[in-house]
Amino acid sequence: MESAAALSQIGLAGLAVMGQNLALNIAEKGFPISVYNRTISKVDETLDRAHREGQLPLTGHYTPKDFVLSIKKPRSIIILVKAGAPVDQTIAALSAHMEPGDTIIDGGNEWYENTERRFVDASANGLLYLGMGVSGGEDGARNGPSLMPGGSHRAYLNIHNILEKVAAQVDDGPCVTYIGEGGSGNFVKMVHNGIEYGDMQLISEAYDVLRSVGRLTNEELGEIFGEWNRGELESFLIEITTDIFKVKDEETGNGFLVDKILDKTGMKGTGKWTVQQAAELSIAAPTIAASLDSRYMSGLKEEREEASKIFEKEGLKEEVDNNVGAVDKKRLIDDVRQALYASKICSYAQGMNLLRAKSVEKGWGLNLGELARIWKGGCIIRAVFLDRIKQAYQRNPGLPNLMVDPEFAREMVQRQAAWRRVVGLAIQKGVSVPGMSASLQYFDTYRRGRLPANLVQAQRDYFGAHTYERVDRPGSYHTEWSKLAKRVKCGHGSRGMKLKKLTCCEINKQHDLLELED
């Protein structure tokens, strides 16, 4: 048995690049850490890096037992392995040597319900459990990520001093906070990734419009995105996009690397989960959904190439002209900037609304302003306007939608004309902008006091007796539409036919008898 002085303060199992970098980050902040991986070479690799990167206080272990026993009680162990069965297997291997009061922290992109199941299982064995979202990629893990721990508050208190040092640091504190109970930490990270999907799609559409319609070169795009990153669009994703446009293709020595990359986007599932949860909670998230659909469409590379040939034979070239006049590049660049900004606000608004809905359902008590704060640094969606999003929810914690915060509402109105010009021009030129279009439709739908939903509800009542409400009087009503229509056809009009106001019991009985679905 090692002496207490020699024991590590925390442990980490799972030494792929993210795990290695987070372990080295923890060690560099002065917290002795033990590491373990089933593949021995990964342990050795991490030990070598700890030595080369500053003789960091990190010790490697080759069996689950030795690893667990090397950590000071009550033990806290971070797991960074592939989501799903590998997490359960790792927990089983480690928990066999753990004691009541010890903590397991899953730092992967896990489905939140798996976290809640493991929380219950761990509690039955006297163990504490946290599901912790970690954002920032490899660089963030090494130099300061955004951390989203949810689950046992007692477990969080056991390690909050470590997490606060390891997390990215911004002007109003470390980018970590206790999210809430159960699987809230993983759910918040999932929605963060959904917003990220939307953000990346919108940026790619801005690129496509400027390249395909504006005929801008990569050099010009690099300069434009660099300028944007010094203004309201300042963010990690705009910053790295600026860098991407500058990188030449070293393999061939000819042209830019971005032009040689296959237009087929990968994904790991969190965007899909976000859209599924939005549907289950009846939360409109069209920007995020459009970004997911775009990834699906990108995967149809061979089909798209064949389709392009088929439509070209029919006289439709990939680049549609439609007699659009000469494009004013300067105006187009500024319009795209404004359209991108407004669309991004829609993506964040949708994500925040989804978080609030889930928080209400689960009783998590999520603080949306605090979530915006911890996303200001370290994470992939970090952006300068997150501070203003934080302030918006601080001003009004019950804000129904980010777009109606006075400051953001004013900006949306100021940018809507440019936004419409970009989407309209893209449609005329045959350039797909699903994210910007979905965002604009989200804005237009939300700002209208009356929608054509009255006709849809009338249709539902016609074929399914689903009833409807009226704008001029209370209650639920059902109309025998076909009978009225026949009377009109016969020239009798509809006088003498009465609308039937239904009681709640009648409505329920009618629905039970029909058992019709839309």
Residue 158 is labelled as binding a ligand: no
Residue 316 is labelled as binding a ligand: no
Q: Which one of the listed residues 28, 42, 189, 390 is annotated catalytic? A: 189
Residue 37 is labelled as binding a ligand: yes
Residue 421 is labelled as binding a ligand: no
Is residue 57 within 8 Å of residue 31, measured between CB atoms? yes
- Per DSSP, helices labelled H in 79-217 are 85-95, 112-124, 137-143, 153-166, 184-208
Residue 268 is labelled as binding a ligand: yes
Residue 82 is labelled as binding a ligand: yes
Is residue 148 within 8 Å of residue 119, measured between CB atoms? no
Amino acid found at 5? A
Residue 38 is labelled as binding a ligand: yes
Residue 403 is labelled as binding a ligand: no
189 is catalytic: yes
Residue with tokens 């045959």: 430
Residue 289 is labelled as binding a ligand: no
Residue 61 is labelled as binding a ligand: no
- Sequence-separated (6 or more) residues with CB below 8 Å from residue 288: 194, 195, 197, 198, 271, 274, 275, 278, 347, 350, 351
Residue 136 is labelled as binding a ligand: yes
Angle, in degrees to the nearest 10, between helices 286-298 and 434-447:
160
Residue 193 is labelled as binding a ligand: yes
Residue 511 is labelled as binding a ligand: no
Six token digits for residue 500: 């039937």
CA atoms within 13 A on the CB side of 456: 5
Handedness of CA 479, 480, 484, 485 (dihedral sign): positive
Residue with tokens 């912790």: 132
Residue 465 is labelled as binding a ligand: no
Q: Which one of the listed residues 196, 205, 344, 390 is annotated catalytic? A: 196
Residue 410 is labelled as binding a ligand: no
Kind and range of the H or E run holding 114: helix 112-124
DSSP-based three-state secondary structure for 495: coil
Amino acid found at 354? L
Binding residues for NADP(+): 14-19, 37-39, 81-83, 109
Binding residues: 14-19, 37-39, 81-83, 109, 135-137, 192-193, 197, 268, 295, 460, 466
Q: Which residues are catalytic?
A: 189, 196
Binding residues for substrate: 109, 135-137, 192-193, 197, 268, 295, 460, 466
